[in-house]
Amino acid sequence: MSLIGTIGEVKVADVVRLFAASRKTGLLTVAGSGRQAMVRFFRGSIVHAASGRLQGDDAVLDLFGWKEGQLTFVPEERAVAPNVTRSVDDLILEGLKVGDALHRRNVLVPSERVVFQMAGGPGEDAPAHPLTGSAWRVLLALDGVRDVREVTEESKLPREEVVRLLFEMAEAGFLERIEPLRSLRVQAQGLFGKDVAEIDEKVEAEWKRLRRFAAGVRRVEVRSAAGKTVAVDAAFRAGMPRDIHLPRTTVAELGVREGEDVHVRPVG
Mutual angle of helices 148-155 and 133-141, in 10-degree steps? 120
More confident residue, 8 or 215: 215
Residue 1 has pLDDT above 60, yes or no: no
- pTM (predicted TM-score): 0.82
Residue 158 has pLDDT above 90, yes or no: yes
**In the structure, what pLDDT confidence band is assigned to residue 193 with cuts at 50, 70 and 90?**
low
Residue 97 has φ and ψ, to the nearest 5°, of -85, -45
Residue 134 has pLDDT above 60, yes or no: yes
Q: What percent of the chain has pLDDT over 70?
A: 98
In contact, 112 and 40? CB cutoff 8 Å: no
Partners of residue 4 on adjacent β-strands: none
In contact, 106 and 62? CB cutoff 8 Å: yes
Would you state the torsion angle of the CA atoms of residues 16, 18, 19, 20, taken in this order, to the nearest 10 degrees? 80
Of the candidates 248, 262, 267, which has an alpha carbon nearest to the alpha carbon of residue 186? 262
Q: pLDDT tens-digit profile of 67-109?
A: 999 999 999 988 889 999 999 999 999 999 999 999 999 999 9
The pLDDT value given to residue 62? 96
What is the 3 state secondary structure string of 87-105? CHHHHHHHHHHHHHHHHHH
Q: Which domains does the chain have, with CATH numbers?
A: 2-98 (no CATH), 115-178 (1.10.10), 182-266 (2.40.40.20)
Residue 3 has pLDDT above 90, yes or no: no
Residue 40 has pLDDT above 90, yes or no: yes
Of the candidates 5, 4, 12, which has an alpha carbon nearest to the alpha carbon of residue 92? 12
Residue 195 has pLDDT above 90, yes or no: no
Longest dimension (CA), the chain: 73
Residue 171 has pLDDT above 60, yes or no: yes
Q: Give how far Cα 268 sits from Cα of 21, 143, 208, 213, Å.
A: 59, 11, 12, 8
Of the candidates 171, 181, 34, 168, which has an alpha carbon nearest to the alpha carbon of residue 112? 181
The pLDDT value given to residue 130? 82
Residue 190 has pLDDT above 80, yes or no: no
Of the candidates 244, 216, 214, which has an alpha carbon nearest to the alpha carbon of residue 232? 244
Which amino acid, one-letter code, is at 264? V
Q: For residue 196, give the DSSP letter.
A: S
**In the structure, what pLDDT confidence band is assigned to residue 221 with cuts at 50, 70 and 90?**
very high
The pLDDT value given to residue 122? 84
Q: Give how far Cα 79 sits from Cα of 27, 40, 53, 60, 154, Å.
A: 12, 10, 21, 19, 42
Residue 124 has pLDDT above 90, yes or no: no
For residue 258, how many other CB atoms are within 10 A of its CB? 11
Spatial distance between the Cα atoms of 42 and 40, rounded to a whole number of angstroms: 7
Residue 15 has pLDDT above 90, yes or no: yes
The pLDDT value given to residue 33? 80
